[in-house]
Amino acid sequence: MPAGGCLFVIVGTDDKPIYQAEFPEARSQRREDTLHLNQLTVIHAALDMVDELVWGTQAMYLKQVDRFNDFYVSAFVTASHARFMLLHDARNEDGVKQFFTDAYEAYVRLLMNPFFDSGAKVPASFDQRIRLLGKKHF
């Protein structure tokens, strides 16, 4: 993840990760695997915070839920308890909130597709939509 970049992960209702994307898209593959693993671990750890925080608020956007060194983790929980996690290294609360709201809309459209069930592969159109949002907000 380059400076100013973000890693976006959707964790489904049944605790399985169903989607992940990086903005801006990683150009080189170097050290990708190890880097990725570390970042995913940070997000994974933050999930516990989310599960705690979610009962204390009415809002879906939980703001920043965790930080690790100079990484921040922001979260958004949908009505069906799918969790949107975003790892970022720049403070950008409004942008993140906007991004989450738009991503939620795309996610709802995805859920309305009768051929989609969590566990299935996310169609390319959803990926495109999210990447567009990523470009717009970050």
Partner 1 sequence: MASEAERKKVALRRLGDATFSKVDKVSAELFSLTYGAVVTQLLKDYEDVAAANVQLEKMGYNMGVRMVDELLAKASLAQCASFSETAEVVAKVGFKMFLGVNVEVAAATSSEFRLLLSENPLAEFVELPEECSKLEYSGLLCGVLRGALEMVQMRVECSLLRDTLWGDEVTEIRVLLKERLVEEFVDDDE
56 vs 114, which CB is nearer to partner 1?
114
The beta strand positions in 1-138, using DSSP E, are 6-11, 17-23, 61-68, 71-77, 83-88
37 vs 124, which CB is nearer to partner 1?
124
Q: How far is the CB of 131 from partner 1 (least distance, A)?
A: 17
38 vs 113, which CB is nearer to partner 1?
113
Q: How far is the CB of 78 from partner 1 (least distance, A)?
A: 17
Distance CA 54, CA 50 (A): 6
Q: 23 near 61, Cβ under 8 Å?
A: no
Cβ-based burial of 29 (10 A; exposed 0-12, middle 13-18, buried ≥19) = exposed
Q: How far is the CB of 121 from partner 1 (least distance, A)?
A: 8
Residues near partner 1 (CB under 8 A): 109, 112-116, 120-121, 123, 125
How does strand 6-11 pair with strand 83-88?
A: antiparallel
52 vs 117, which CB is nearer to partner 1?
117
